[in-house]
Chain A
C-alpha cells in the first residue's frame, strides 16, 4: 500500500490499530483541540481563510465545553463508548467542513484516519502543518497515536484496507464518489455515514421583510451565508423562496436585491471571469431544461433567475458563485413537490418556529435536514445532514441487572 502520511510524521496504520481509545471528552483531547484552535487564531497565514477562522472559533475551549454539556445531557446515565477507528474520506475540494466531523469524532474518543485527495487546498495544507507541530509536543504524545492523516489519489486497494479496519466510515463527496467508495466493502460490524452533495434555500416572508427595520443586518447575514464561500457550501442558499402575495413579494424583492447589490459592490467578494461564464452556461442550460426568466443584473456578482410556479426544479445545473433561483409562493406547502433528498438547509426570515414545524410535520418532505435563521446557514452543528454525530460516533453499552 502506497500512501503518504501527512500527520503525524512517521506513523502508519498498524500502530493505530493497537492504540488505546479514550472515553468521550477526555481532557487530553480537549487540550489538543483547544491548542489547535489557539494555533490557528494566532497564525497570520490563516487570516485569508474565513472558514478556518470560523473553525478555530468553533473548536475553542468555551464551545467545546458547550458541546460536552450537550453530549452529557443527551447521555444521561447511559454508558457511551467511542466506536473505535473512524475512517474519514474528505472531499477533494477546498472544503474544510470535514474537519468538524473529524474533530467531533476525536472528542468522543475515537481513533481517526483521514484520507485527503491528491489536490490539497492551501488551507488544508496549513492545517496539516499546525496539526503536525502540535502533535510533536511531548504532552500530546498519546494523541499522536489517535490520528493519522493520509494522502493518496484514487486507489481502491488502499481504501479497501482502511475500510476493512475501521468501525465507522465517513464519506464526503458527490454522488459518483460516494457510489464508487460504497462499492468497497466495510468490515461487517462497521457503520457508515454519508455526506453527499446538498442543495439549500432561503425562505423569506415578503411582508415581514418590508416591515423589518433592520434590513441591513439581514442583508449582511444573507451575504455571509451566500458569498463567504461563493455559494459553494452545501448549506449556502441557492434558491430564494419568497412567501406572500405578488404585490408584497415584488416590492420586497426590489429592496432586497438592491441592498444586496450595494453590499456586494462595497465588499467585492471573490470574483473570477470563469465564474461569470459558468453562471451564463448554467443559465442557458437551465433555459433548455425548463422555462425561466432571467432577471437583468448590473454586475455578475449576483445573477438571478425567476422560475414561475415550477413543478420541478433542476438543481443539478446550479453552479454557485452568486447565482440565485427565485420562486414566489403564497403558502409554504407549494415548495413540497420540489423538495428531494438533496435539499439540506432552509434559512428563514419572518417565518416562526411553529409555522415551520407544522409545515414539516403536515407534509413530511422528502428532504430538508435543518432550518436556521438567515445568517446561520454555515454554522456547524453536531447534528448534520440528519445524523447526530455524537450518537453515530459512539456505541451504547446497556447494563440491566
Chain B
C-alpha cells in the first residue's frame, strides 16, 4: 500500500500485524528519502552505519531526539518548497524547534488529522469556538505550536469564533451570542489545555458564570505541566468544566509540533490511541531497549507523515506507558497508552543547558 492510500483507511481499524508491516514499509521508504535528501540526517545514520539499512520492524529504526530540531535546521526538501515553518519553544532553554513543512507534508497532515478527527466529530463541519486569541495565527508562514494546532483543527469547523481578546480576556458576550445562534446543533470547541483552564474555566468560576455547552465536543491539547503544578488532574479538569458548562464530551490529545497531524486522541477510557499513521514505543533509558507493555519508559513516536524534514521517528522527552494493543475496551485498534510527564532533569546538567552565569565548570 502506498502512503496516499493509507488516508482511505479507517484510523483505528488495522490490527497489529498488518499495521506493523504497513508502517515498516512506509518508514523504510521515508528513511531512505531523508538519507538521500538531508545531509545532516545522512551523517547521523552514517555514524551508526545505518544509512543503507532496511529495517524489518518499527522497533529497529534509529530515533532522533526532538532536541536536535532546536540545534539544527533539519530539512529534506529544497528551501523553495517550504511553505511554512512551525516552531515550538522548549521548557528548558530559549531555543526553539524549527519544523519545515512543504506542500506534500502539509497535505498529509491535513488528511491524517481529518481522518482522526472525523471519527470523533462526524463528517460535517461544526460551528467552532476557539479558546484563544486570533493573534496566534497572524503570521501565516511562521507558526507557534499553538498557532499550528488551531489552524490544523480549524479545518473541521465553520464560523470560527475566537473567545479571547488580545489580552487573553474572555469575551462572554461573544460566547453567549454564539451559543444562542447554535443552541440546537452540535458545536466544536478547541483550545490548549492550560489556556482553557486559565482563561475560560477560571474566568467563568471567578465571575460565577454558568453556560450550557452540553451540545459541544471539546478537543484540547498542550500538556499538563502548567496545570499539574496547580494540582489539577485530568479528572479534575473534566469535572470542573462539567460543573460550570455541562460539557461532557471532552477529548484530550497528545501531540507535538514535530509530528503535526498524526495525533494521539484520548478515548472514553482515558487512553491515548495510536492511529494507523503513527505508532509509539517506550524505550528503556538505560539500554534503549523496547520496554514491554505496562512499563514506564521514554516515549518514542513514529509517524509516516514527515516528508519535508526527518522527523518520522523521534525520541521525546516525555515518559509514558503502553497499556496494550488492539484491545482497549473502547474498541479502537492500535496501541494505547498513558503519558506520565516530562523526564526529570538530571542534577548534574549536561552541556545543553548553558546560560550566562550558570555554566558548568570543572
Contact = CB atoms under 8 A, between A and B. Distances in A.
A287 B47 contact: yes
Given A281-B68, A294-B47, A298-B287, A275 B350 contact: yes
B361 A196 contact: yes
Nearest to B297: A273
B359 interface: yes
B209 interface: no
Contacts of B48: 294
Interface stretch (B19-27, B138-146, B340-348): B340-348
Contacts of B352: 278, 281-282, 319
Given A95-B361, A174-B354, A233-B362, A277 B348 contact: no
Interface in B319-362: 319, 343-352, 354-362
Nearest to A280: B65
Contacts of A198: 362
B160 interface: no
A373 interface: no
Interface in A258-298: 270-288, 291-294, 298
Q: Which of B48, B49, B361 has the most CB of A within 10 A?
A: B361
Contacts of B348: 93-94, 229-230, 232, 270, 320-321
A316 interface: yes
A176 interface: yes
B71 interface: yes
A234 B46 CA distance: 30
Interface string A138-156: 0000000000000001100
A274 B346 contact: yes
A173 B361 contact: yes
B78 interface: no
A176 B319 CA distance: 33
B287 A154 contact: no
A277 B40 contact: no
A162 B42 CA distance: 52
A63 interface: no
A319 B350 contact: yes
Contacts of A371: none
A319 B68 contact: no
B361 A272 contact: no
Contacts of B298: 273, 276-277
B286 interface: yes
Contact of A320 (B46, B49, B65, B350): B350
A172 B361 contact: yes
A285 B354 contact: no
B44 interface: yes
Given A275-B346, A275-B350, A284 B65 contact: yes
B230 to A, nearest CB: 24
Contact of B71 (A95, A195, A281): A281
A294 B349 CA distance: 23
B317 A277 contact: yes
A197 B360 CA distance: 7
Contacts of B72: 285, 288
Interface residues of A, number: 61
A92 interface: yes
Contact of A172 (B71, B350, B362): B362
A395 B189 CA distance: 74
B56 interface: no
Summarize A's interface: helix, strand, loop or mixed.
loop
A301 interface: yes
Q: Which of B43, B46, B67, B360 has the most CB of A within 10 A?
A: B360
Contacts of B346: 272, 274-275, 278, 321
Contact of A292 (B47, B288, B345): B47
B318 to A, nearest CB: 11
A281 B362 contact: no
A93 B360 contact: yes
A42 B239 CA distance: 54
A232 B360 contact: yes
A279 B351 CA distance: 10
B357 A177 contact: yes
Contacts of A282: 350-352
B362 A284 contact: no
A292 B48 CA distance: 9
A270 B286 CA distance: 11
Contacts of A286: 47
Given A278-B350, A320-B348, A117 B286 contact: no
A221 interface: no
B315 interface: yes
B343 A92 contact: no
Question: Which 10 pairs show the lowest CB-CB distances between chains A and B?
Answer: A174-B359, A273-B285, A278-B350, A319-B350, A287-B47, A272-B346, A91-B361, A234-B362, A319-B351, A276-B285
Interface of B: 40, 43-44, 46-49, 64-65, 67-68, 71-72, 285-288, 298, 315, 317, 319, 343-352, 354-362
11 contacts: A119-B358, A172-B361, A173-B359, A177-B359, A197-B359, A232-B362, A271-B285, A271-B286, A272-B343, A274-B346, A280-B65
Given A233-B362, A273-B319, 17 more contacts: A117-B357, A119-B358, A172-B361, A180-B356, A180-B357, A235-B362, A271-B285, A272-B285, A276-B286, A277-B315, A278-B352, A284-B44, A285-B71, A300-B286, A305-B47, A319-B350, A319-B351
